[in-house]
Each structure stands twice: as C-alpha cells, then as structure tokens.
Structure 1
Amino acid sequence: MLLLSTFVVVLAGLSGAKPLASKRWNNVAVKHRWVEIPRGWEYHSTPPGDHLLDMRIGLKQDKLDELISSLYEVSDPAHERYGQHLSKEEVDALVAPHPDTVEAVESWLLHHGINPVDAQFRSASGEWITIRVTVAQAERMLDTKYGVYYHPASGSSVVRTMEYSLPAELHSHVQMISPTTYFGTMRSMRSTSFIQPQTTALVEDADSFAAEISPLAVPASCGTTVTPACLRAMYNTTAYVPKATATNKLGVAGYLQEFANDADLQVTFFKSFRTDAVGSTFTHVQVNGGLNTQSDPGVEANLDIQYTEGISFPTPNIYYSTGGSPPFLKDDSTPSNTNEPYLDWLNFILNQTTIPQTFTTSYGDDEQTVPQDYAISVCNLFAQLGARGSSIMFSSGDNGVGSGDCLTNDGTNREIFQPAFPASCPFVTAVGGTTRVNPEVAVSFSGGGFSRYFAQPSYQTASVTPFLTALGTKFAGLYNATGRAYPDVSAAANGFQVVIGGRTSSVGGTSASSPTVAGVVALLNDFRISEGKAPLGFLNPLIYSTAKSGFNDIVSGSNPGCGQAGFTATTGWDPVTGLGTPDFLRLQALVA
C-alpha cells in the first residue's frame, strides 16, 4: 500500500505535473451503458448537484485467479487440500489490488480533488474504497449525467445513471463503480416468498404440531402443510442431535430492512412446532442501519429464521438485518446510500474475523438487470466466503424460467429465458423448489436455467451434459447451453406454516427451500466439526461428485415461464430441481 501522506505531499509539490495529469485522465471510454431504462423504472427528475452520494470503487484484485484456484482445491474432496480453508488474512492477501492499481486509482482521485486518506471506508485488503462526493463531482469523474429514477411497483426512488465512463487507463484497474447503472434496490429486488391464502393454515390455538413424524411414513399432509417435523422426517434429520454448538453457526442474510420477531419464534412457533426449543433464541445483527424494532415483522425474515431454527436447533443462528438510508428526497441532505444490498452485507461479513459456516439468502434479481461487472464483483465476494469455509445457499427464484414477456433489455427485444442472480453465480449453491411427498415433484414456480454471464463450471459438466443431450434442440436460442446451470439442489417450497404477528399463515416460495437446505447443511457441518474435521465450505464440487448419491432425485414436474412450458424434471440433474432434495443420513455417511 502506498504511503499516502508522502504521495500527496510529493504530488502537491510537482505543480508542473498538472497538465500531464490532466492529459492522463482525459482519454475516457464507456465502462457500462444501458440502451434503455431498465424495465419497471422511469425517469423522474434531475438531482441537485450538491446531493451527496457514497461512491464505492471496486479495484481489480491482483491474485483473484489464485483465490479461485484455492477455492476449488479446498472444496474438492479429491484434492489433497480439501477442507484446508483460508484465513481472513490469507484471503485479504489474495484479493488485494496490485500497487500499480492503487497508484492509478489514487492519482485519479487526487486529480479530482479527493484525498484517498479521507475515504469513508476502505476494506482490509484495499479492494474496496468508499468516498463521499456530490452528484456534480460524480458526473465530472464519470463523464455522465445522473437522474432520479422512480420504481412505481415499490415506491422507490434512486439516483442512478444510464452509463458511465472512466479514463482508459483505469479500465484495467477498476472492476466497477457504484451507484451508477445497477438499478436494483432493497425495495425493488424480489424476496422469493409469498403468502398462500388459498392454502389453509394450521390454527394458532390448536394443540402442538411438533410431534415427531417417522421418515418411513411421511403423511401426505406434509405435501401441502409443511412444519419442521415434516421437513425433519422428509430429509432424515429427526434423530440427529447437534454436538458442536459452541463452534458451528448458521447465518441468515436479510434485506428490505426486515427483521425476525422473537415472540413469534419463541412463544408461538416453537410451542406449536418444536417444543424442545421453547425458550431458545437467536442473535440479531444490524448491518448499515438494519432494523430490529420487533414490531411488524417481515414474512421473509420470520420464514427464514423459523425454519433454519426449526431444523438446526440447538445450533446458534444469526439473523443479519441489512438496512440503508431512506430513498432519495429532493430536499434531503443526507447522503444517498447506494441501496445495493449484497455489497453492504458482503463487505460487513468479510470484515469479520470469524463467520458462520452456513448461510442462506432468499432474494434475487433477473440476471440481465444487473450490470455484468457488478454481478462479477458480487460473485467474487461469494468466492471469498467459500474460500474461508462457508457454505452459501441462495433461493433459485419463483418465476420458473422467467416472468412476464421475458424480453431482452439490450434494445433487440428478443424473448429469452431469464436466469436469476445471484443464483446464477457459480460460487453459491442455488436451491429450487418441490411440493408433495411420496414422491416429491418439482413445484411449478421453481426457478432454474442457465446463466448468460457465467460459464458452466467444470464441477457440474458431467451432470448437466446428459440433460442437455436429451433436450436436443428444444428451446434452442432461448437459453445459453454453455452457461452455469442452476439450481444445484432443491427442497420443499409449498405451504410452510409461518407465524407472523402471532398468527400462522401458509407461505410458499424457494425462500422456504433455501433455509431448509441450509438447516440440513448446518447439521452436516455440526457432524464434521464434532468429528474434528473442517466444515464443508463451498458445497458444489462435493455435491456434484462424491456426495451426489446423497440426494433424492426428483423426476417429474416442470417450471413454465416466459410463455413457454419450461424445463422438465427428469432422472439426474435438471434445471428445475437440480440434483434433488437432501437425505441427511446418506449425506452424513458420504461426508464422514
């Protein structure tokens, strides 16, 4: 890292260098551009020039290839480094920017009158810098014009731009800058859960529904009215008692400023559905202004924590409520937070010395609405988590192969299947949905398909190729056959009994599937840790190889969308249910 104070003094003394500096930064080229306003948004007005933004600059990591290589080695059960996860310091060293990158970015900032020493935030590795600038400054730095854009469906207003540019020299040093062209916010992004009023919920004042269900005789009712007892029986966790609770932890990442309600979990849910857990609780962590008022709890938050706890108890759970500043108001002098959810949470988590061994997240966007440089940056942050030994589950989405007209946003208006992000990131485990029991079948809304941003990783080629071969030319041109395929696995997604404000409702969505799988994975991590072994970490190289037989293959159902029939679940991997649903006892034997 440069000695900044010395650098500033030297630069200040070289007044004759200013013309050269100007020439150095005047040759600009577009970094990212939209050809049309992202769907669902509309231009509203011009923001005041003195409106403040917290600008994040993501610097290119010098040894990213080494990080990815290490991630695969420590995650591959056939490799001699399997389970030898990296420390925070080792990851930081690999993702630190090259000194030339630091010099170039800091020189550019100084050229615009910004002293890097005054940055609002700087990651330990130096790959992220956050500076506070006015809209007018940002427009000069990025050769662009910002606007206020409105999202009628969510009522959100954000300050964004349709394109931004950087000096040509910086393109090889800067991965991305925000807020710029990513229009997603915590309010416009989708939570992958929904209330199911058509499904009758178990009444709140009924006797306890926590009685154990035999894995050998799971009742048909578990296919439409799901409780922790149903899931524990379906996925064979009923008999397992966690032992490594002093070390093993499960983290739930929540957005939309949602929080989970203690009383709903402790007083009502546990009393009805997991009586041995009555009186236990979980840890609340607020990130960037996240909420925990315990009033008006979120459906998503309560669903997540009630089912991670319902399966993994007594494993300690942590709920992370990620917040943000209010949306843009013309007369508001408060800096406009980027409201870009994954960066806030990921930078917070990666800055911690110790982190949970298992995570679940139930949110996502259409991949095409996320600028590719932004998606790559976020995906690489998930790789850092995996390298440190964490397993990361993401719901695959609730729109099958895509919702609405599925038209491209590149100006050509072609109809294509719409993959979801971050489920399409190759460094997370995407979880699709099923319904019914004896046997389970794919639920019609289960998100799945093939990324257009990320290539198909080698760990899944042997499993995906048979599906593509059998598919032949069906849907040709609608999906990217060489892209990262998802989901990886699946779990029940229909009729989850969730307590919200003291009352029980039926909730569906792959938001239910992801915490379910996370609960099972947390128990597998508990088993390994209690046996003196490392946690599983990044799961995909394992589950696509030696642990493949630990899943129940789902062979019927489909995921329609985009006006098409969608893909069909079949023998082996498919883009509706992945490898299938977990069987804890089989997996326990395979990861022993």
Structure 2
Amino acid sequence: MIWSAVVVFALVQRCVSKPLAKRWDDFAVKHSWTEIPRGWELHGPAPADHSMDMRIGLKQDRLDELISTLYKVSDPAHERYGAHLSAEEVQALVAPHPNTLGLVDSWLTHYDVDPSSIHRSGGKDWITLRVSVAQAERMLGTKYNVYRHSKTSEYVVRTLSYSLPTILTGHVDVVAPTTYFGTMRSMKSTSFKQPNIKPVDSDVNFVVDAVDAKTCSSIVTPSCLRALYKTDSYKPAATDKNSFGITGYLEEYANFADLQTFFKKFRPDAVGGNFTVVELNGGKNDQSNPGTEANLDVQYSLGISYPTPNTYYSTDGSPPFKPDANAPNNTNEPYLDWLNFILNQTTISQTYSTSYGDDEQTVPPDYANSVCNGFAQLGSRGASIMFSSGDSGVGGGACTTNDGKNKTQFLPSFPATCPFVTAVGATTQVNPEVGINFSGGGFSNYFSTPPYQTAATEAFLKSLGTKYSGLYNKTGRGYPDVAAQGQGFQVVIGGQIQSIAGTSASSPTFAAVISLLNDYLISNGKSPLGFLNPFLYSTGSSGLNDITSGSNPGCSTKGFTARAGWDPVTGLGTPDFGKLQALVGK
C-alpha cells in the first residue's frame, strides 16, 4: 500500500505539472485583422533572427480610480478641482497588481527572455524588451511578415493577428509591435498647402491692430488671431513656471531661422525669442530641412503665447525595417514613445498640442485604449492636451469598414476620439466665423459618450433625428470639442511665406490660448486647468463663441451641420480669452 501511494502521488504530480508546462501554449486571440490594412501590401516573411523592441502594456490595477480622480480634479464643481496628481501618485495608481507582475515575469522566463534586456516604466505598467522575430512568434502564437506601404515605400514588421496565453487574460492589455500598422511616415498630418491663396508680401511687415474682416477672412496671421480671440492685451507673467509642448512626427523639423523671419514679419516684439528641441526616440533636429507642419505649429503657438517657453518634441520611431538587412528596433509607432517619455518626467508642460492622427478603425482597440489611458494619466497631472480633429470632414475616401464587410460608414479620427483629450476642429471667416468644410468631426466607434458630454451630444442628436442613421455611432464620444481658425495661415518655410490650412493650424491656436489661461492661473497662485473638457462642457462653455453655420461633408454626404450649442463640426465653439479669463479667475 505504501508503494502504491507513492506511485499514485508521483502520477498526480506528473499530471499536475503537465498543464503548468503547457499553459503558455494555450492561446486566445488578442486582436486580428480580416485583411491586410489598406495601403499596405505583403512583401514576405520576416527573418527569424530580426530583432525588435517589444512593448508590453500590463493591466493597470487601479485605472478606474485614476480616471475617477481625473474627473474630480477636472470638474470646477468638485471640491478637489485643480488638485492634480504628482508623477509618483499616478505611478501608484497605474502599477500592476503583484499577481500580474509575477505571471508576466514567469511568461518571459519561460521564453528565455534575457532579464538584462527588460526595461520597466516608472509605474511598472509598461515593459520593453529585445526579442527576435522567432521568439516573438512563439510568445504570441503568431507569424510576423514584412509589409510595404504603397505610398511611402516604408517596410515594417507586423502581424495580422496575435494571441496571448489564456492565463494572461486580464493581465496584459496590449503588445506592440503587432497589429497596429500605423507608423511615423504613414500617419496623417492634418495640414495642407493652399496655393490658391496668395501669401502676403514678404517685404512688408504685416500686423493688424484689430480684426480686419476683409483681410483676416482670407489670410490669417498672429495679429488676426490675437485680436479675434482677444489675447492681444495679455502679457504672460509666469514664464518661469508655465510652458507649452508641441509633438512633432513624420521627420518634420521646426526651423529656428524661419521662426525669426516669421517674428520680424508678423510679431516684431518677439524677435529673438526661440523654442527648445527635445529629440525623442531617434528624432532629429535637421535645420536644413524645414517642415511645413513643424513650422506651422511652432510659429503659431509662439506667435500667440510668446514669451511662454515652447518645446518641440521631435519624435521618431525606430529605424524602418530594411528587407535586406537585420535592422534592429523596428517598433516605429506613434504616440507610445512620446507618452512613455513624458509620463516618466518629474516635471511636465501644462499645455500640449498634436496635429496628427489616423482613421480610428485602423488602430487596434487594445492599442487605442492603452494610448488613451496614457492621456488620462497626463491629464491627471495637470496637462491640457489638444489634438487636431482631422481634415476629412466625416470621413475621406470610400468610407467603408475594414472588418471584411465593407459597410459604408463615417470614419472618425483617433486620437481625437479619445475622451481624455480636447479635439479641435476648424473655422474660417470672421464676424461671424463659420465651420469649414474639412473640419473633422463625428462620433467614435471605440469610446462611449463620456459623462461630461452626454447632455451636449444628446441635444445635437435630437436635432439631427434619423438623418445618417447607421452611418455613425449614436452612443459614441462626439468630437471635436472646440474649434479655431483653420485656413489661410501665413507660415514661413525655407524663408518663403506660404498659405497653409488644416486643423493642424487650429490645434496650436486653441492650445496657445489655453497656455495663456494657464499662465494667468499660475501667476495668481492657482493650479493650471489640466484636463479641459469637464470645464469646457460646464461653466467654460460661456467663454466660447458658438459657431452656428458651416458643415463638414464627406463619405458622399453633406456631413453634419453646425448649430446652436455643441455640434460635430465646431464643437462648443472658438475661444474668447477675456471671457475665459474671467471664468477661470472666479
């Protein structure tokens, strides 16, 4: 009997150990595409020995508490309004549960991941490690290939589907690079040149003292915007504490010499002022290659907020994959690099503007959620985050879904659809302003209507009735939130003035006004505005100019139409600095 008991015990132990040994092979699909994302084509299998930096986003244990806190510190009616969190407090809320850390470490050990290659974020919610393609394929139960972008001729290593061991369900939010095909070069800049609008004479200084309806309706300059949005009499007083951040992608470089030419022409009192460049993840500062988008962002953010310190973040992905070489570090994805860098800084800027985006449906939901939650972290620390709403109205191109069904549908833009950022649409003309036809707007298919916006979107949907039913998500987060001028911007590029349009112009314009409000608050010993939307949709709405005409056609429709109150063309409207200053000063 003793011998039998020993045998039985050994057999039981063997049976128990087998599932433990195999549990890492029991996969569940995390995300997959039904077809190769549009604009990309299969080039061939990825070399097994190609190495890349894998990023693993772990489930943040107290994320609900973080978001709840974000709303409290951003709501003017709450007793905690303005009590933003420190980096350490945010890291404590996003830190994974110890069980998550233990399981993930066991997973990595099982696949012989070199411990010395692992880097953890401050909150330990992100892990970056170096792996080979063969190693990644085993870990994720997938097959990586090399894909080529038809327009940019860029090669990337991606997969159409990836899985995780079922035991990691609820512990890992996202893994990259996997199914997100967006790259620095393929993402959309939201600006474009306007050769049909003749730029102002380069030899003559151009400063207006008031809003000239004839001039400022056709060409836009800093003095037009400062007069229109009533910032021209405000003098920043907290430049030792308040700062402004601009995110740059697509190998776009802001040019120092062009800024001085711009100042001489349009803001003479700012001549000699400058900006700082932070090169991030391989980003550069090539002064021989001035970028349209970069110069637009820097010239107009400083043109309005001067002398507030401005930082341009030149953000690049890792080197693109070369089909004939074992190129390292092929992550090359937007947003995460910049977010992880900023969130790991002890001190951050109070205002940020980004003028890039993608069709929401091209961004895997797990990736979009992780990025959006990163913006929630940034907002909880007191940052106001602006994103351009896009330049395709309710959607560009054929406006069909990419789920294999090819259903006709409006195409919202991400990250503008993230409920934790302030999306900025575009207007044109003055006295009155009207919504411009390219202003991106609509409703998210990923994110539900946030609580601060429910009443505003319900009122619009009631006025819309059954029009466009089935083409958009009635329960989705509506965007844009606000708007600003968006065409005829006079920008110096390579020493020459050109006319530029797009919500890329609107975002830094609105953000610059917010930066001045933050300056006012800080100089009076108060907290910066932080996450704007709860304020804008409540007491702040009376500080905005409601835009009631204009539409944003797209997808073979006339699009939405601006109306009284919030609408998905111009949001709640354009800023009136004087009124907003009075509201935040109460």
Same fold (TM over 0.5): yes
**Distance in 1 separating the partners of 2:508 and 2:349:** 14
User: CA deviation digits over 1:19-41, x for unaligned, max 9?
Assistant: 45422212111000100111111
1:94 positional shift: 0.1
Residue 208 (structure 1) aligned with residue 205 (structure 2): yes
The residue aligned with 2:34 is: 35
Q: Structure 1 residue 335 and structure 2 residue 328: aligned?
A: yes
Give yes or no for contact 2:157–2:330 (8 Å, CA) kept in 1.
Answer: no
CA positional deviation for 1:325: 2.6
Report the TM-score when normalising by structure 1. 0.95
Q: How does 1:157-556 map to 2 (within 5 A)?
A: 157-205=155-203, 207-210=204-207, 212-214=208-210, 217-266=211-260, 268-556=261-549
Number of aligned pairs?
A: 573
How far 1:122 moved relative to its partner?
1.1
Indicate conservation of the 8 Å contact 1:547/1:587, yes or no: yes
Residues 134-173 of structure 1 aligned to structure 2 (within 5 Å): 134-173=132-171
**Equivalents in 1 of 2:194, 2:209: separation in Å?**
24
Structure 2 counterparts to residues 557-572 of structure 1, below 5 A: 557-572=550-565
Residues 322-358 of structure 1, C-alpha deviation per residue, up to 9 Å, x if partnerless? 0123211123233133111100000000010000000
- C-alpha separation in 1, matches of 2:14 and 2:489: 67
2:3 paired residue number: none
Which amino acid in 2 is paired with 1:191?
A: S
C-alpha separation between the residues in 1 aligned to 2:478 and 2:51? 40
Output the amino acid matched with 1:157. Y
With normalisation by structure 2, the TM-score equals 0.96
* CA shift in 2, pair 1:17/1:439, >3 Å: same
After superposition, the Cα gap between the structure-2 partners of 1:423 and 1:359, relative to the gap in structure 1 and judged at 3 Å, is same
In 2, Cα distance between the equivalents of 1:378 and 1:238? Answer: 36
Cα distance change of structure 1 residues 332 and 18 upon mapping to structure 2, 3 Å threshold = farther
Secondary structure of 2:430's match? coil
User: How far is the alpha carbon of 1:390 from its aligned partner?
Assistant: 0.2
Identity, % of aligned pairs?
65
**More deviation, 152-161/304-313:** 152-161
Q: Indicate conservation of the 8 Å contact 2:155/2:323, yes or no.
A: no
| Aligned-residue offset at 1:155 | 1.8
Using the alignment, how far apart are the partners of 1:89 and 1:171 within structure 2? 27
Decide whether the 8 Å contact of 2:319 with 2:328 is kept in 1.
no
Q: Deviations over 1:346-372 (max 9, x none)?
A: 000001000000000000000000000
CA deviation after TM superposition for structure 1 residue 423, in Å: 0.1
CA shift, 1:556, in A, is: 0.6
Contact 1:119 1:129 in 2 (8 A): no
Q: Is the 8 A contact 2:199 2:490 kept in 1?
A: yes
Cα distance, 1:120 vs structure 2: 4.2
How far off its partner does 1:463 sit?
A: 1.4
Q: Distance in 2 between matches of 1:378 and 1:507?
A: 29
Q: Give distance in 2, aligned partners of 1:451 and 1:308.
A: 28
Q: Is the 8 A contact 1:218 1:234 kept in 2?
A: no
| Secondary structure of residue in 2 paired with 1:341 | coil
The aligned residue for residue 96 of structure 2 is 97
Q: Distance in 2 between matches of 1:301 and 1:95?
A: 32
- The separation in 1 between residues aligned to 2:51 and 2:147, in whole angstroms, is 16
SS in 1 for 2:335: helix
Looking at structure 1, the residues matched to 205 and 20 of structure 2 have their Cα atoms a distance apart, in angstroms, of: 73
The farther-off stretch of 549-558 and 20-29 is 20-29
Give secondary structure in 2 for the equivalent of 1:177.
strand
Aligned with 1:359: secondary structure?
Answer: strand
Q: Post-superposition, which runs of at least 4 consecutive aligned residues in structure 1 deviate over 6 A?
A: 14-18
Deviations 1:554-575 (A, max 9, x none): 1111000011110000111000
Q: Partner of 1:516: helix, strand, or coil? A: helix
Post-superposition shift, 1:138? Answer: 0.7
Q: Distance in 2 between matches of 1:374 and 1:548?
A: 32
**Structure 2: 5+ residue stretches without partners:** 1-12
Three-state SS of the structure 1 residue aligned to 2:164 is: strand
2:549 alignment partner AA: S
Tell me the distance in 1 between the aligned counterparts of 2:16 and 2:47: 33
**Aligned equivalents of 1:363, 1:559: Cα separation in 2:** 18
Deviation at residue 257 of structure 1 after TM alignment: 2.2
Amino acid at match of 2:169: H
What are the Cα deviations for residues 395-440 of structure 1, in whole angstroms up to 9, with x where unaligned? 0000000001111011111000000000000000000000111111
* Cα distance per residue 1:492-530 (max 9 Å; x no partner): 000100000100000000000000001000000000001
